[in-house]
Amino acid sequence: MMGEFKKKLGEASTFGEIFELVKKAVKKTLGVHRAGLELVLMELPNNIGAMHEVGSNMIVMNEALLEAFLQVARNKIEVNSYVFVILLHEYLHSLGYIDEEEVRVLVKRIVTEVLGEDHITYHLATNSLFELYPELQMIGPGRIGRDTKIIRGFDRESTHYIC
């Protein structure tokens, strides 16, 4: 399973493909699942990688931080691993895990089980992004933006209703 997970994460080319892996990892490890989430890209303060408002169906990812990470990442697997960790963290919040420390512990556990401690995803899950990539500190504090980008086809399990 671990080898297959590593292969699929390395090959993923969309947020939706990475999110499918996040959901499979959580289902395998914790036995819980939900559908119907949306992903929105928006400028946020740069100490926030993403957020999920309790009770909502939306994950908001920091677009400015993602763009900066794309500039410093050495390869596609680093980018996909960053997105995986961010989406995993917020997906756990959407499942009702509210306590930040509990979520960090669960992210570490899930990443260890499905990708292993030798994978870059583990290092991103267990270390400060700004320690691993000190050049990101140069982007400054960031701000809350007004523009949003909804990522189409993010959660393929979402139920669509015809009105």
Q: Residues near 8 by Cβ (< 8 Å), separated by ≥ 6? A: 17, 21
SS3 category, 162: coil
Which tops the pLDDT comparison, 69 or 1?
Answer: 69
Query: What is the C-alpha separation between 59 and 40, in angstroms, rounded?
Result: 6
Q: Give Rg (Cα) of the chain.
A: 15
CA distances from 149 to 42, 60, 62, 143, 162 (A): 7, 10, 11, 16, 24
pLDDT score, position 160: 52
Tens of pLDDT, residues 58-67: 999 999 999 9
Residue identified by tokens 């260890």 is 112
Percent of the chain with pLDDT over 70: 96
Tens of pLDDT, residues 9-54: 999 999 999 999 999 999 999 999 999 999 999 999 999 999 999 8
pTM above 0.85, yes or no: yes
Tens of pLDDT, residues 141-151: 777 778 888 88
